[in-house]
């Protein structure tokens, strides 16, 4: 196994450092990809896993101004190594979050909800009544897209893979605010036309699967619509019929949250505005943590195994 639980000394607190007691950290697909070496970010080894989580500030160096003991913090960027009980980090690697939001919401805030927020904000100008279509709608990003769209009056068409407990999954997504939930197979059926009697065809498609799923979603996009790819769970290329380009002038774009953070490192206003909006949605109960299974750190092996199973509907969260 690539993993071991190790006791490390907590390093000395530098002037610009913050000593953090980690509270909770999820296991995301990208964390696993990073460890397998199939992700464009590689940590020098030995490394601590985990790119996301929430911690409480215990102590700050004498030049630290923005944080104080008792504050809650999340990583400002990927690669922090959140699967640990304590850490000493430079202040600039942390973002303060309000401590009046549920701990699981804070622990899962920096990757999926931020990704969902940017996907909905940055590619098409969407107004209330517009619609978006997305695949892997039960993923962490998918669940956040449903809720953020709902809060903005945007309709969602949510595509999921067929599975034994399909009806239960459909109910869960409808409860989050999904307008329509369909399987990959249903995308091909004539009944799809019925959906578009009540809502407009989507201007935006969100793809984290690739392969056949992509073609099927493109079919339902409005002319001049945009499809944004932010993941490739099928490990197959994005296939696009030539007609979609020529006769419908589709735009194909890509998105990587890590890159967005790099591009906006100097633009604290954009980051703060996004975090404020998301935290307000959480406080209003319009954005919840994804379905979670809490696992104590010592059971990390079981949590890693569970997170790699197919049709996972619950995110494994390490309690630290």
Question: Per-residue pLDDT tens for 287-314?
Answer: 999 888 999 988 988 898 888 877 666 8
d(CA 227, CA 134): 9
Question: Per-residue pLDDT tens for 18-65?
Answer: 999 999 999 988 888 887 777 777 777 778 889 999 999 999 999 999
Is the pLDDT assigned to residue 279 strictly greater than 70? yes
- What is the rounded average pLDDT of the residues 224-235? 92
Burial 155-183 (b: 16+ CB within 10 A, else e): bbbbbbbeeeeeeebbebbeebbbbbbbb
Is the pLDDT assigned to residue 150 strictly greater than 90? yes
Question: Per-residue pLDDT tens for 49-106?
Answer: 899 999 999 999 999 999 999 999 999 988 889 999 999 999 999 999 999 999 999 9
d(CA 192, CA 187): 6
Q: At what angle do helices 268-283 and 140-151 cross, to 10 degrees?
A: 80
d(CA 229, CA 136): 12
d(CA 223, CA 243): 11
230 included as an active-site residue:
no
Whole-model pTM: value is 0.91
| Residues in CB range of 230: below 8 A, 6 or more apart | 115, 119, 141, 206, 207, 208, 254, 255, 256, 257
Q: To the nearest whole percent, how much of the chain has pLDDT over 90?
A: 74
pLDDT at 106 (0 to 100): 96
Is the pLDDT assigned to residue 277 strictly greater than 90? yes
d(CA 155, CA 53): 30
- What is the rounded average pLDDT of the residues 164-193? 94
What are the backbone dihedrals phi and psi of residue 244, each rounded to the nearest 5 degrees, phi first? -65, -35
Among residues 29, 39, 233, 271, which one is catalytic?
Answer: 39
Ordered by where they begin, the domains of the chain are 17-108+289-319 (3.90.180.10), 112-257 (3.40.50.720)
């Amino acid at each position: 196994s690539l993993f071991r639980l190790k006791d490390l000394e907590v390093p000395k607190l530098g002037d610009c450092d913050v000593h953090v007691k980690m509270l909770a950290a999820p296991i995301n697909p990208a964390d696993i990809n990073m460890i397998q070496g199939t992700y464009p970010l590689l940590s020098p080894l030995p490394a601590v896993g985990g790119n996301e989580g929430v911690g409480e500030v215990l102590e700050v160096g004498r030049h630290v101004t923005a944080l104080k003991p008792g504050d809650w913090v999340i990583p400002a960027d990927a690669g922090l190594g959140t699967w640990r009980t304590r850490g000493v980090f430079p202040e600039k690697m942390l973002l303060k979050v309000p401590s009046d939001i549920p701990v699981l919401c804070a622990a899962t805030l920096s990757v999926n909800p931020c990704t969902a927020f940017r996907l909905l904000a940055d590619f098409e100008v969407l107004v209330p009544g517009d619609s978006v279509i997305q695949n892997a709608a039960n993923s962490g990003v998918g669940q956040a897209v449903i809720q953020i769209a709902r809060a903005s009056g945007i309709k969602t068409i949510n595509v999921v893979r067929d599975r034994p407990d399909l009806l239960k999954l459909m109910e869960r997504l409808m409860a989050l605010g999904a307008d329509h939930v369909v399987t990959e197979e249903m995308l091909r059926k004539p009944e799809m036309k019925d959906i578009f009697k009540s809502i407009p065809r989507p201007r935006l498609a969100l793809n984290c699967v690739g392969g056949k799923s992509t073609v099927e979603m493109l079919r339902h996009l409005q002319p001049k619509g945009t499809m944004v790819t932010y993941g490739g769970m099928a490990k197959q290329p994005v296939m696009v019929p030539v007609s979609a380009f020529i006769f419908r002038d589709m735009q194909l774009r890509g998105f990587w949250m890590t890159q967005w953070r790099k591009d906006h490192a100097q633009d604290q206003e954009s980051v703060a505005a996004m975090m404020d909006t998301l935290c307000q949605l959480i406080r209003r109960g319009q954005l919840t943590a994804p379905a979670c299974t809490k696992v104590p750190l010592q059971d990390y092996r079981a949590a890693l195994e569970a997170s790699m199973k197919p049709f996972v509907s619950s995110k494994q969260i390490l309690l630290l």
